[in-house]
Amino acid sequence: MTTNQAFKILSNIAGPHVARIITDAMPNMGCLQLFRVSCALRRGVPVAKIIHNKWFYGLKFYTNKHTLDPRPDTETLVDAVLTDYAGAKNFTIADIGTGTGCIICAIAKNAPATGIAIDKSRAALRVARKNVCELGLGDKISVRHGDFNRVSALPEKSVDVIVSNPPYIAHGDTRVDTGAMHDPKMALFAKNNGTAAYMAIAKNGKQWIRDNGRIYVEIGIGMEHDVKKIFEDAGWRFIKHATDLGDVIRVLCFGMK
């Protein structure tokens, strides 16, 4: 099986752009591997899940079935933190529900930040550790098992910044695209109409963050009012929002009152 033959077959299934990405990443596919890739494409498996990598904020991240694939919308969260801390000499950060580790890694690569990445999925933690190592950030980022539903997930008053892209899709929401259905369910769906994770982070985050610290959370489309109320009711002060490239409010920032 030559690369050109594989390219032609994959082009007929998913188009030449996707075929080029896959054959560039997997240049020596055998017949069996090509068959498996073709079946995956027909099932709607995202290309990143097939080639096991995705670019995010100019960095290449390993990804697999145990993690969300890094998405362009989440770069809005990274931009918000880097803008606010552009003049900082150093700061500590916690990434809650880290997944691939793309958020904290992108920040640590572009700012004098050190921190902790936590996730309750041990399979996701293996992915995050791999990315931290491959990006040369092992001396800046500690990857630990932890659940944001538990206040013991982080030491008290241990960080200046909290970032999180938590699960925020309501159970039963039919707007989930085919690609996302190949992501882990625990990283997508949350109880209380998609707000349960925000409730836990708003409550426990007060114990983790230092005075004058900030918390940045990614939100789904149209969730800004509900999430803002959750944090304000928990004792946080709304600071600002940030919009993604589609002009959708994608990130909310809060500080302690």
Q: Within this chain, do residues 214 and 147 fall inside the same structural domain, yes or no?
A: yes
Residue 177 counted as domain residue:
yes
Residue 22 has pLDDT above 80, yes or no: yes
Write down the mean pLDDT value for the chain: 93
How many folded domains does the chain comprise?
Answer: 2
Confidence of residue 5 (pLDDT cuts 50, 70, 90): confident
How is residue 192 written in tokens? 């209380």
* Domain residue limits at 252: 55-61+66-256
- The proportion of the chain whose per-residue pLDDT surpasses 90, expressed as a percent, equals 80
Residue 49 counted as domain residue:
no
Q: Within this chain, do residues 230 and 191 fall inside the same structural domain, yes or no?
A: yes
Confidence of residue 246 (pLDDT cuts 50, 70, 90): very high
- The proportion of the chain whose per-residue pLDDT surpasses 70, expressed as a percent, equals 98
Residue 93 counted as domain residue:
yes
Three-state SS at 239: strand
Q: Within this chain, do residues 32 and 158 fall inside the same structural domain, yes or no?
A: no
Residue 48 counted as domain residue:
no
Residue 248 has pLDDT above 80, yes or no: yes
Residue 194 counted as domain residue:
yes
Contacts of 202 (CB under 8 A, 6+ apart): 230, 231, 233, 234, 236
Q: 3-14 and 31-42 are packed helices; what angle lies between their axes, rounded to 10 degrees?
A: 10
pLDDT at site 155: 92
Q: Within this chain, do residues 130 and 13 fall inside the same structural domain, yes or no?
A: no
Q: Within this chain, do residues 81 and 200 fall inside the same structural domain, yes or no?
A: yes
Q: Which amino acid, residue 83? A: T
Q: Within this chain, do residues 9 and 84 fall inside the same structural domain, yes or no?
A: no
pLDDT at site 63: 95
Helices (H), the chain: 3-14, 16-25, 31-42, 47-51, 75-84, 102-110, 122-134, 191-194, 196-208, 224-233
Contacts of 249 (CB under 8 A, 6+ apart): 219, 224, 241, 242, 243
Write the pLDDT tens digit of every residue in 187-240. 988 899 999 999 999 999 999 999 999 999 999 999 999 999 999 999 999 999
For residues 96 and 158, is the Cβ–Cβ distance under 8 A? no
